[in-house]
């Protein structure tokens, strides 16, 4: 008789992870719930409401009659996520801490805790995503002995797990999972991958999970809360005053407290000016922020970027890209923006040029840039963006291109090959 499979489910205290645990129970698995405390709310006057979330997660386990555990990754989160977040902002980039948290905390620290300490056959989360493995295939991974050392990568390429979009295109969260390792993907179940958010809420309502159903969905960074973002950053980073300068005539329009506080495309609040101005360029050496007078100013648009060496999720580039050195696909660099057609060009050093068919607004270093094949689904890789370029005369003639320097940005490019049927692409913030 086959032993009951043990699945350890991450519980955030929100409706998505609660329903994920419920569905796992319905499948007949032995389920354990684990709440991760990643930020010390006491240090920030309770802004993160971690204690309340933990109570809600514990109540979910009581309702489902499953064991509950709480683990603290406050130190790991500070070292691997928050410190990286501050370092990237200080360099003028636009990081995404949710992606870094998934890589280092949820799918590394929690993954190893579940497998090594709790004896899990698999882990599960409330993300709206799917992989190319069915549940039973996930469980079989525990019994597959993979070679170590020199031959490890070749073996995993032949047996690579694909990261696939969720059925709910608006809630799809593969954006946030783009740096999860093959080891973690092999042992992960996403129970909500084939469901819509509306149906998940219906399941919660029918199964006495009203306390999480009524919670407002979190849409920001937990460590910032409702505070002013600029004020928050200046608690950790030293002010570096500089000027706002017009991109059109080099006229000084005002002053700011730090060029790292601004992202390309963001509206700059310049004292004494009624008209809105938007950030188009940053000078990290002099500390100046260049602004344009219109939201659709030509200086805001770019049609070319270069990545650093790509991290392939399946651990090898798409076959078409290797064969032809070029591949047509679509990309986005914000999780809810419309897809833009582009052409990828593979370089010998493993970097990739991404040429957009049409110029895109506010393409910045440090943001997550997401190409994907027009017939979609698989998510083969990610890579930091180093240089966003463009054919914008008023910028290139001035000889300054945002991000044109040797150091690497912290964003990512996710690549999708045209191997599967088409689905629309959407996204949302991390599940609660």
**Beta strand spans in 83-136 (E):** 122-124, 130-131
Q: Chain-centre distance of CA 397, in angstroms? A: 34
61 included as an active-site residue:
no
342 included as an active-site residue:
no
Of 9, 109, 222, 329, the active-site residue reads: 222
User: Contact 284/259 with Cβ under 8 angstroms?
Assistant: yes
Angstrom distances, CA of residue 92 to CA of 109, 281, 288: 29, 10, 11
Of 54, 101, 329, 342, the active-site residue reads: 101
CA dihedral 389→395→397→403, nearest 10 degrees, is -40
CA distance 362 to 185: 32
**Most distant CA pair in the chain, distance:** 78
> Which residues are CB-contacts of 39 (< 8 A; sequence separation ≥ 6)?
48, 50, 74, 77, 222, 223
Closest CA to 430 of 227, 263, 192, 221: 221
Closest CA to 287 of 305, 309, 260: 260
CA distance 271 to 418: 49
User: Contact 262/291 with Cβ under 8 angstroms?
Assistant: no
Active-site positions? 101, 222
């Amino acid at each position: 008789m086959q032993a009951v499979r043990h699945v350890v489910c991450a519980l955030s205290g929100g409706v998505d992870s609660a329903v994920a645990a419920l569905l796992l129970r319905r499948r007949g698995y032995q389920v354990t719930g684990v709440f991760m405390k990643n930020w010390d709310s006491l240090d920030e006057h309770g802004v993160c409401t971690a204690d309340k979330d933990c109570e809600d997660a514990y109540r979910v386990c009581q309702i489902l009659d499953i064991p509950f555990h709480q683990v603290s990754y406050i130190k790991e989160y500070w070292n691997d996520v928050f410190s990286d977040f501050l370092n990237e902002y200080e360099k003028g980039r636009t990081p995404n801490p949710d992606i870094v948290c998934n890589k280092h905390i949820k799918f590394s620290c929690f993954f190893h805790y579940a497998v090594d300490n709790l004896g899990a056959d698999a882990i599960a989360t409330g993300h709206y995503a799917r992989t190319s493995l069915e549940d039973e295939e996930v469980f079989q991974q525990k019994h597959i002995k993979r070679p170590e050392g020199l031959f490890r990568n070749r073996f995993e390429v032949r047996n690579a797990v694909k990261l696939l979009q969720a059925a709910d295109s608006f809630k799809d969260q593969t954006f946030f999972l783009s740096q999860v390792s093959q080891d973690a993907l092999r042992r992960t179940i996403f129970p909500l991958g084939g469901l819509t958010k509306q149906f998940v809420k219906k399941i919660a309502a029918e199964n006495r999970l009203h306390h999480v159903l009524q919670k407002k969905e979190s849409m920001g960074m937990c460590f910032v809360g409702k505070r002013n973002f600029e004020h928050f950053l200046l608690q950790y980073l030293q002010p570096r005053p500089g000027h706002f300068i017009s991109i059109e005539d080099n006229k000084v329009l005002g002053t700011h407290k730090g060029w790292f506080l601004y992202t390309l495309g963001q509206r700059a609040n310049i004292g004494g000016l009624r008209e809105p101005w938007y950030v188009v360029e940053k000078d990290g050496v002099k500390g100046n922020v260049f602004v344009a007078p219109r939201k659709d100013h030509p200086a805001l648009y770019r049609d070319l970027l270069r990545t650093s060496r790509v991290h392939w999720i399946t651990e090898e580039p798409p076959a078409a890209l290797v064969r032809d050195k070029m591949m047509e696909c679509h990309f986005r660099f914000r999780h809810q923006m419309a897809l833009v057609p582009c052409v990828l060009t593979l370089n010998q050093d493993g970097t990739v040029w991404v040429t957009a068919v049409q110029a895109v607004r506010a393409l910045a270093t440090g943001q997550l840039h997401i190409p994907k094949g027009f017939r979609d689904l698989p998510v083969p890789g990610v890579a930091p963006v180093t240089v966003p370029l463009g054919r914008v005369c008023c910028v290139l003639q001035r000889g300054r291109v945002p991000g044109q320097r040797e150091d690497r940005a912290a964003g990512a490019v996710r690549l999708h090959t045209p191997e599967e049927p088409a689905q629309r692409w959407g996204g949302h913030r991390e599940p609660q």
